[in-house]
Structures are given as structure tokens and as C-alpha cells.
Structure 1
Amino acid sequence: MNAWFPVSPCTPQACAGHHGAVRPALPAGARLVAGCLLAVGGAACTPLAAVLTQPVRDRLVRLWSRAVLRTFGVRMRVTGNPGGRNGGELVVANHISWLDIPLVAAVLPARMLGKSDIRGWPVLGALAARGGTLFIDRQSLRALPASVDSVADALRAGDRVVAFPEGSTRCGGGPPGPFRHAVFQAALDAGATVRPARISYHLETAPTGKAGHADGLPARAVAFVGDDPLNASLWRVVRAAGLTAELTLLPPLRADGAGRRPGGVDRRMPPGERKALARRAQTAVASDTANLPAESVHH
């Protein structure tokens, strides 16, 4: 266990499963194939998108991410307003599933933080690198300062970066785990805005032929925890009917008092500052009291 990679208390045996309506095997298989082809095909087009302007590129990422979710059989609900931004923005959210990545990208296209192991994966590693993924060595504390600096540099350049500060996926049925502090140091160093976001997945029920509504029951089929194989998780998702992913965008937090001293020398904030910022973000994500209007609902 270290600052990037804590041990999750959740296990596939305790968390993953589905007790609602089940999609027949043939349609589920078709969704699985189509979803994987769409995901890989979109990632393969990432180098071509580099020649586009940022607004056009962001729009394409949103459309592609929503299509990935819908193809896998997951509806999306967004609460809150993504608004605009001036300069870099660090988006921090709780972490439940591999679905979290297209869910956030469907609203807030960004550079993702990924473990360094991904860089060595065949095909996908190269595609992730070309797509702007920031790789971190989650097994080495010695690499932590360099990882923080790379995130801070991206934020200073005006990029949006998405991180899951729990450091590991959790079941999603309760409050998030402790937010690790390291990534918040990057926001402080860059003077960037921190945008908390809450992710949840629910089962949707309705009479046949009518639009459903989220009934509040957590969708356990999406949980991707512990040593759960990816193929097993993919199959659970496409077999589970009535899944709704909800992204709640919370008011941004300002990383006050950060930046660079004259002459370009980094001003590293004391540990208490990043811990306080991490606690503020974690409290916002864990709170159920935010009463924000729905900006959009995508079916």
C-alpha cells in the first residue's frame, strides 16, 4: 500500500453481482462485441483527432463516450452544470468501475491518470499514450514527486485532468474511501481549480414499454473491484438490464495560494494544505445534501 495504490476492502465475491432483470445472452453478446469495437475503434482514431481544434475534439470525445455507454446498455444522467473554465482543472471523483472513465469523458473530456503498467499493454498502451494519458508508477514512492510534477505541468498548460483519489475501485454502495493527497499537491502547485464529482450507478425499473426511473438501488453489476477479471465484468454489465449511470458535478474548489514564485521556482505547499483540500473534495463527493438541478438526461 502507498500514496497512489491503497488496498480496497471490496471484493468481487462481496460486491459484484446482479439481482434485477437480465438481458438475453444473444443481445448481450451483440452489445459486448459492438461496445468493444466502438471503444477500441475510437481510441485508435485518437492520433487523427490531434489535428482538430480543442472544441471539436472535446465534442467528438463526448459523443463517442456517450455512444460507448449506450452500446454497453447503460443510460446516463448528469446533475449539475459543467460550466466553463479558465486554465487547468483537476476533476476528482469516487471510483467504482471501468465505466467511470467514459462516464466522466462524456461530460468533461480530459486527460486521464493511468497506472504505468498500461503503457506496456499491446495496442491499448500506445493508444492511451497518444490520447494524452498521464502515466504514474503506483508501486513506487520515489516516483511520486515526478508524477505530481507531470500532473501540475498539464494543469499549468490549461489541461483538464481526471483523477480517482481513492486509488482503487470500491463497491459504490456507501461513501467513498479516503482521498489520497498526492494529486491535490499538483493542483496547489499549478493554482488549478478542483472539481469534485460524484459517480453512482442505479437500477432502473419501469412497466414494459415505458420510460423507467432510477429506483435508488445500487447497480452491483458494474462493480469492478479486487481481482475481478475484465471479461467477467464486461459480461455482467451487458447482461444486466436497466443500468443507469449518474454523474453529479459539484461546485468547484479553488486551490488557493498556489503557483510559482517569481523566476519560475515551484512553491511547494505544506502537507496540511493538500490534506485540507483533499478532505474538502472528499466531503463534497460523500455528501448527499447537494440539491442541484439536472443539467441533462441522456437515454
Structure 2
Amino acid sequence: MTHPWMPASPCGPGCLAPGAPAVGPLRRAVRLIAAVAVVTFALLVAPLLFVVRPGARDRLLRGVFRGVLRAFGVRLVVHGAIEAAGRGALVVNNHISWLDIVGVNAVRPMRALAKQEIAGWPVLGGLVTRAGSIYLDRERLSALPGTMAELAAALRGGSLVSVTPEGTTWCGRASGRFRPAAFQAAIDGGVPVRPVALRYRLADGRETTEPAFIGPESLIESLRRVLRLRGLVLEVFVCPEIAPGRAADRRELAGLAEAAVHAALGVSALGARVPAPRDADTRTQPADTRTQPADTRVQA
């Protein structure tokens, strides 16, 4: 069942850039074994998520999500920090890949507003559910008010909740408008909005669309494509938060968040994109590296 409200993207297989560097069969096999090991560990420790203290739970979840990135050969580079400060916040980001939610949680574990289908995804669905996700049935408009009320209650209760307001995935070189519905929950909850911009690039600085989860492909096909990529880097830009009351209504709030994400990615009003920075500008280092100049923190 579909309806005019259902998010749609024109991106498809034609957006995937050919010629991305690939690892050999042996490296792919090693990555697959590592991914299975991380999955097995996650399943074994899942019961602990319900009994350990919040700080230990966050560290455990962060370790699992970082393990997923490492298993797939993805290097995480973070600019800024997602602060909790003991209150809730709506964390919004552009949506490109299934890796998005892994990357955001590798920076700061949080609840998510996710489409109902994700609950049935192998492994990732279980992790997202155990992290306290709020699921949205996009095919039932009648369920939207109840879901937004649940989201507002979670925000009011002090939770960080990740939302992808574009509503569907885009290739990264094109993007969609931020839909305003979820921003009403931030207004009702009296919490700030924290925009986060995501970009996928190769080690030499070239932006790549290969991690995008678009078109009619299955999740397995997308997993295989990421598994063979060499030198994939996920950049996370944490933008300044938008304080409660700054926008007159949810549409203005959505526009402010969208503009912040576009500015972080170097996207002009006409859609032109500034080339991604090269590693010479932002160097990746092992996960135990604590600081970089000014506000840039790098994690593997």
C-alpha cells in the first residue's frame, strides 16, 4: 500500500559511481568473519542491556556499533561531539545508507525513530530494537499522530532520539527535503534539535555513492557492496544545536536543521557540492586518540 505522503527518492542504481577501489577475496572473507564475530558477540551480550547501568550500556552499545564499522572496513571520522547534558534532544541527519544508524550510534548510542521494516532486518534490526527504537509504520497515516506523541514523550523524558527526516535514503550527492512531522515532537517536548551531517568518501578524499542503499536492491546486496570497498570513510559533522523556541513552527525548524546539514556538507542553495576534504585536512587515527585541534575528534 502506498500514498502521496510516502517518502520517495529518484536515486537508483544509476547513481552508483563505478570504479571504486575494491579489496581482494581474502580480505572480503576476513571482513565477513569479523562481521559474524561482532554479530555473535552482540547476541551474547544482548541480555545485559536490560540490567546494566545506563553508562555501561552506552559503552557496550558503542563498542558493538564501532565493531560493525571495523568489520566492514569503515573508518569513522567525527567532527564535534553529541552532548547529552542530562536532557533530551532530537538528533537529525541526512539519510544515505543502512550504515548511517551504525555510525551515529558509534558516536553516541541513542534511541531512533525508524521505519517498521528495520525491525525485521537481520542483526541490525535486533540491535536497533534493543536500543529502544520507536517504530513508524509509513503505510498507515492514521498511526502517525500516536507515533509522534510517543516520540515527544521520549524526548520530554530525557532521551536522545535519532531521526532521518528525509524519510528515505538518497545517494549522498542528491538529497531530499526535511519533512516537518518529527520536528513537532521536539517543539511539544521542549527540547533542542541537533543536526548531524553524514558523508561517505574514500581514503583519497573522493566522495563516493557506493554505500548508498537505494533503488530496488536488497539489504544483502548493499552489504556485499560495502564489504568489498577499500578505504571507505564515514565522516560525521555534528552541527550546533537549535535551541527550543528559535523557530516559529515545525516547518521553520525543519528548514533550519536542513540548512545546517547542507552547510556542513558544503551544499549550496542550488545543490552544488563543494569537494570533500582530503585526509591531509582531517587525519584518521586509532580509536584511543582523544583529541584533535579545536573541535575535531577522530575515531576509528
Alignment TM-score > 0.5, same fold? yes
Does the 8 Å CA contact 1:91/1:195 hold for their aligned counterparts? yes
Q: Report how many aligned residue pairs link the two structures.
A: 274
> 1:218: Cα distance to partner?
1.5
The verdict on how the C-alpha distance between 1:77 and 1:245 changes in structure 2, with shifts beyond 3 A counting, is same
Question: Which amino acid in structure 1 is aligned with residue 190 of structure 2?
Answer: G
The verdict on how the C-alpha distance between 1:198 and 1:2 changes in structure 2, with shifts beyond 3 A counting, is farther
The verdict on how the C-alpha distance between 1:137 and 1:238 changes in structure 2, with shifts beyond 3 A counting, is same
Question: Which amino acid in structure 2 is aligned with residue 256 of structure 1?
Answer: G
Output the CA distance in 1 between the equivalents of 2:156 and 2:109: 17
1:83-232 aligned within 5 A: 83-119=83-119, 128-174=128-174, 176-205=175-204, 215=205, 217-232=206-221
Question: Which amino acid in structure 2 is aligned with residue 147 of structure 1?
Answer: T
2:142 is paired with a residue whose SS is coil
Does the 8 Å CA contact 1:3/1:182 hold for their aligned counterparts? no
Q: Note the residue ranges of structure 2 that are not aligned, 5 or more in a row.
A: 267-292
Output the CA distance in 2 between the equivalents of 1:138 and 1:4: 9
Output the CA distance in 2 between the equivalents of 1:56 and 1:148: 29
Does the 8 Å CA contact 2:78/2:237 hold for their aligned counterparts? yes
Output the CA distance in 2 between the equivalents of 1:77 and 1:127: 22
Does the 8 Å CA contact 2:65/2:106 hold for their aligned counterparts? yes
Question: Which amino acid in structure 2 is aligned with residue 200 of structure 1?
Answer: R
Provide Cα deviations, 1:22-42, integer angstroms capped at 9, x if missing partner: 100121132124214414642
> 1:230: Cα distance to partner?
1.3
Provide Cα deviations, 1:101-124, integer angstroms capped at 9, x if missing partner: 110001121011222234456877
Question: Which amino acid in structure 1 is aligned with residue 298 of structure 2?
Answer: V
Output the CA distance in 1 between the equivalents of 2:62 and 2:148: 27
Output the CA distance in 2 between the equivalents of 1:41 and 1:162: 24
2:75 is paired with a residue whose SS is strand
> 1:294: Cα distance to partner?
4.8
1:196 is paired with a residue whose SS is strand
> 1:60: Cα distance to partner?
1.8
Verify: 1:70 aligned to 2:70, yes or no: yes
1:35 is paired with a residue whose SS is helix
> 1:7: Cα distance to partner?
0.6
Deviates more, 1:193-202 or 1:232-241: 232-241
1:218 is paired with a residue whose SS is coil
Output the CA distance in 2 between the equivalents of 1:108 and 1:280: 23
TM-score (norm 1): 0.83
Provide Cα deviations, 1:239-270, integer angstroms capped at 9, x if missing partner: 11011000000000123289xxxxxxxxxxxx
Does the 8 Å CA contact 1:29/1:238 hold for their aligned counterparts? no
Verify: 1:237 aligned to 2:213, yes or no: no
Matched residue, 2:7? 6
Indicate the structure whose relative CO is greater, using CA pairs within 8 Å and at least 6 residues apart.
Answer: 1
> 1:131: Cα distance to partner?
3.0
More strand by share: 1
Output the CA distance in 2 between the equivalents of 1:125 and 1:82: 23
Does the 8 Å CA contact 2:239/2:264 hold for their aligned counterparts? no
Question: Which amino acid in structure 2 is aligned with residue 298 of structure 1?
Answer: Q
Output the CA distance in 1 between the equivalents of 2:27 and 2:39: 18
Q: Note the residue ranges of structure 1 that are not aligned, 5 or more in a row.
A: 206-214, 259-271
The verdict on how the C-alpha distance between 1:5 and 1:110 changes in structure 2, with shifts beyond 3 A counting, is farther
Output the CA distance in 2 between the equivalents of 1:122 and 1:247: 25
RMSD of equivalent CA atoms: 2.6
> 1:125: Cα distance to partner?
5.4
Matched residue, 1:51? 51
Matched residue, 1:211? none
TM-score (norm 2): 0.83
